[in-house]
Amino acid sequence: MRKNYVLTFNDISFLDYQCFYDGSQLWRKPARLMESYSVAGRNGDVLIDQGSYSNITRPFNCFIRKDFIKNYNNLINKLSETIGYGRLESSEEPDVFYYASLESEIEPNTWQLNKQGTFILNFNFKPQKWLKSGEIAIPINSAMTIVNPTSQIAKPLIEVVGTGTITINGIELTLSTNTSTTIIDCESENCYEGTINRNGDLTVSNGFPVLSLGENEISVSGCTINLIPRWWRL
């Protein structure tokens, strides 16, 4: 027997519109992006790994059992307010979330005098399944080891109080100016304090650090940090 699940998109709970999906569609894994080259006189293409994954599209078989026209129209209108990617969560996978955009909807089928009906929503997903545990900040004021629980490298967000040096797996980040809390984003390679750009106040020894598979050695000197690891998996 199929279970019924609920989506939440950018804090819009489908439950508020009496909308569920049946979970009959299996997840398709994202493909690893590769560049292919042909070489004269050589059999087979040369493949170069780009180190990233493609987006995927997943259809959700949705249904509404009460006041279909009202709930359906209100839900679609609310979803259309988000342009581009939004945070998507599902009761099917309560420990993770995604970044996705609404790609299309398929016209509904209704019955019982339009009180009930079904329709399909197609969402375009970024490839990462973000772990909610990776949103929990880890306070660090000296030295510690943290373990990456996934098989993917993570690019953390670092909240810095004070000035000083942060060392992650041998890579040093030195912040020279900070009046409250400065954010170092290792994914976007950006540093800012509120609306103030602090890139010029940050010295990076050898590229922005990542949290590798297994153990990661982290230490701070002259400052304290909250490290948000951003764990993810496919």
Range in 65-69, 223-227, 229-233 the model is least confident about = 65-69
Q: What is the pTM of this model?
A: 0.87
> How much is the average pLDDT of 128-135?
97
> Across the chain, what does the average pLDDT equal?
92
- Checking if the pLDDT of 232 tops 70, the result is yes
Q: Within a 10 A sphere around the Cβ of 9, how many other Cβ atoms?
A: 22
Bridge partner list, 115: none
Q: Read off φ and ψ for residue 224, nearest 5 degrees.
A: -125, 155
Cα dihedral 218, 219, 223, 224, rounded to 10, equals 50
| Measured distance CA(53)–CA(98) in Å, rounded | 14
In the chain, what percentage of residues exceed pLDDT 70? 92
Q: What is the pLDDT of residue 34?
A: 64
- Checking if the pLDDT of 172 tops 70, the result is yes
> How much is the average pLDDT of 58-66?
93
* pLDDT confidence bin for 46, thresholds 50/70/90: low
Q: What is the pLDDT of residue 40?
A: 75
Going along the chain from its start, the domains and CATH numbers come out as 7-127 (2.40.30.200), 132-233 (2.60.120.860)
> How much is the average pLDDT of 171-189?
97
C-alpha to C-alpha distances, 218 to 171, 187, 226, 229, nearest whole angstrom: 9, 17, 12, 12
- Checking if the pLDDT of 1 tops 60, the result is no
6 or 51: which leads in pLDDT:
6
> How much is the average pLDDT of 62-77?
94
Q: What is the pLDDT of residue 113?
A: 76
C-alpha to C-alpha distances, 21 to 59, 90, 115, 117, 130, nearest whole angstrom: 10, 10, 17, 12, 21
Long-range contacts of 65-73 (CB under 8 A, 24+ apart): 65/18, 65/115, 65/116, 66/18, 66/115, 66/116, 67/18, 67/115, 68/108, 68/110, 68/114, 68/115, 68/116, 68/117, 69/110, 69/114, 71/17, 71/18, 71/19, 72/17, 72/19, 72/108, 72/117, 72/119
